[in-house]
Every structure is written in structure tokens, then in C-alpha cells.
Amino acid sequence: MFSVASFQGRVEFAPGFASRPGLSHVLFDFDGTLSLIRQGWPDVMVPMFAEFLPAQPRESEEARRQLCFDDIMRLNGKQTIYQMIQLAERIRERGGTPREPLWYKHEYLRRLDERIRHRLDGLRGGALRPDDLLVHGTRPLLELLHRRGLPLYLASGTDEVFVKQEAELLELTHYFGRHVYGALDDYKQFSKKMVIERILRENGVPGERLLSFGDGYVEIENTKEVGGLAVAVASDEAHNGSGRFDEWKRQRLLGVGADVVIPDFRDAEALLECIFAK
């Protein structure tokens, strides 16, 4: 049995939630789940999509931006290239001639770098502490899992080279060791589903022993597909530490089968007690 009485903040358990003391491997998404370095990325991607997307007759700017937002967020959690493939398809269906999706991806990364460079420079120069750019309560949670002896894995739709650099700047690498995975230019060689399959295959464990944390539908859906337990982090990235849910994330992630929804990791110890209760 478990109790939510020891939670200080908000938490929502799905009706079918049951504790799993046998969980043995833990998968994390990166951006929005642990890292806030790229907080605000939709404010870069949505205007870029709207800029390149041909307008339809009598279509308002607001309607075009909403279409772009919906396309982008529907693919959130997958590799960035899939959002760019979607953009190219939208341009083509509106009578335009799109560039290659990889060109759009590189242009997006250039624009995003302009937005987040001060955060990276702040971490490198010491003006920002690593915990300033972590979702509230991240480090205590990782420490608790580490002390339990559970192997931790990191899988992100962001390019692997950037994930590794940013995990290092945030002083997270030692929690994950060599198990840090991200997107590749040859995008068919990586997916979160492939990482999950690899974890289960290499360790000879069933999916029921996998615990995952994520703020995107992909990692939640992939975890549930193999029978794992999925914790949705409906993080309010723009107001880190507020303790409030991002309602769009909350509803989206419950809709794909999340077992638990939290706004951040302020109740890490209580959460793990519920999850691992015997």
C-alpha cells in the first residue's frame, strides 16, 4: 500500500497505479525533465515554422502559428528532425518547395543557440550554478536512485553531442556514466524506443522492471508499450520551482498512460517510497 500523505506538493496517481518494488532500471528524458538549458525552445521553433510555412487564403497569422504549434508539440520528445520533416511536408502540401529537413534543423539550432548561449556561457564561467538550470529537486532524486544502486539511463531527442555537453555542464554525467543517448544525423539509428529495447535486451529484464521519467509523450508511451511504470513530469519550465503543473503537459501525458504526474521532484523521497512500496 502507498499513501500520498507525505507529499508536500502536488501529485496525481492514475487510477490503475500500483507500486512495483521489483523495478530495476531507470530511464530519463533530458530537456524539460531534468535540464532547463533549452527552456523556451518552442518560442524559437514556432515562429520559424510560421515564417517558412506558406499562408493560405484568408488564413490568419494566429491560425498558422497554432497549426505550427500543434505539429511541433505532437512530435515533442521525438528527435528534432521529425518536426522538420513535418514542416517540409506542410510546405509541400501548401504548394511550396521545401528545403531538406536537415537544413531546417540546422537553422533551428542556430536560432536556438542565440537564445540559450548566455545560459551555457553562464555555466561555463560560473555565473550560473548547475542546479539553477535543473528542474527543481532533480539532484536529490538522482542521489536517491543512485543510493538504491539502480542503473540510470538518459535518452533525448536533442542531438547526442549537445546532450553530452549539457549533461556535463549540469554535473549530471556521473549519474549516467556511458548511458547517455541522443539524436544522430542518421536519425533512423536512434529512437527512445530503441534505447528501451537495448536496456531490456542487454540486461535480460522484462519491461515491467523499467521505470521512466519524462515530460514528452514519446518516452511515456514507449515505456507503457513494454509494460513499464511511467512518471510524467508536467514541469512548468518558465516558472521552475513554482510547484504548478503545466496543464497542457499534464493532460497530454495522462492521455498516453502515465502512471503518476508530478510538477517537479520536490517530493522525490515520498514518490520513491510509493513507487517501491512492498
- What proportion of the chain, given as a percentage, has pLDDT over 70? 99
Per-residue pLDDT at 1 exceeds 60: no
| Average pLDDT, integer, range 181-199 | 92
Average pLDDT value for the chain: 95
98 burial (CB, 10 Å; 0-12 / 13-18 / 19+) is: buried
CB 270 within 8 A of CB 16: no
Q: What is the pLDDT of residues 196-240, one digit of tens each?
A: 999 999 999 999 999 999 999 899 999 999 999 999 999 999 999
> What pLDDT sits at residue 236?
95
Cα distance between residue 199 and residue 205, in whole Å: 8
Within its chain, how far is the Cα of 254 from the centroid?
15
Instruction: Output the CA torsion sign for 69, 247, 30, 193.
Output: negative
In tens, the pLDDT along 24-75 reads 999 999 999 999 999 999 999 999 999 999 999 999 999 999 999 999 998 9
Neighbours of 226 (CB within 10 A): 17
pLDDT in tens, 255-264: 999 999 999 9
Contact between 230 and 220 (Cβ < 8 Å): yes
Amino acid at 238: A
What pLDDT is stored for residue 187 in this prediction? Answer: 85
- Tell me what pLDDT residue 163 has: 97
8 A C-beta contact, residue 134 and residue 151: no
The burial class, CB within 10 Å (0-12 / 13-18 / 19+), for 58 is: exposed
Residue 76: pLDDT band by 50, 70, 90 thresholds?
A: confident
CA distance 112 to 41: 7
Question: For residue 257, what is the DSSP state?
Answer: T
Between CA 24 and CA 148 the distance in angstroms is 10
Query: Where residue 77 falls among pLDDT bands split at 50, 70, 90?
Result: confident
From the list 185, 180, 194, the residue with the least C-alpha distance to 81 is 185
Nearest to 30 by CA among 186, 142, 150: 142
- The predicted model scores a pTM of 0.93
Strand partners, 76: 78
Q: What is the pLDDT of residue 3?
A: 65
For the segment 90-99, what is each residue's pLDDT rounded down to a tens digit?
999 999 999 9
CATH top-level class of 12-36+134-276: alpha beta
Residue-range domain boundaries for the chain = 12-36+134-276, 42-125
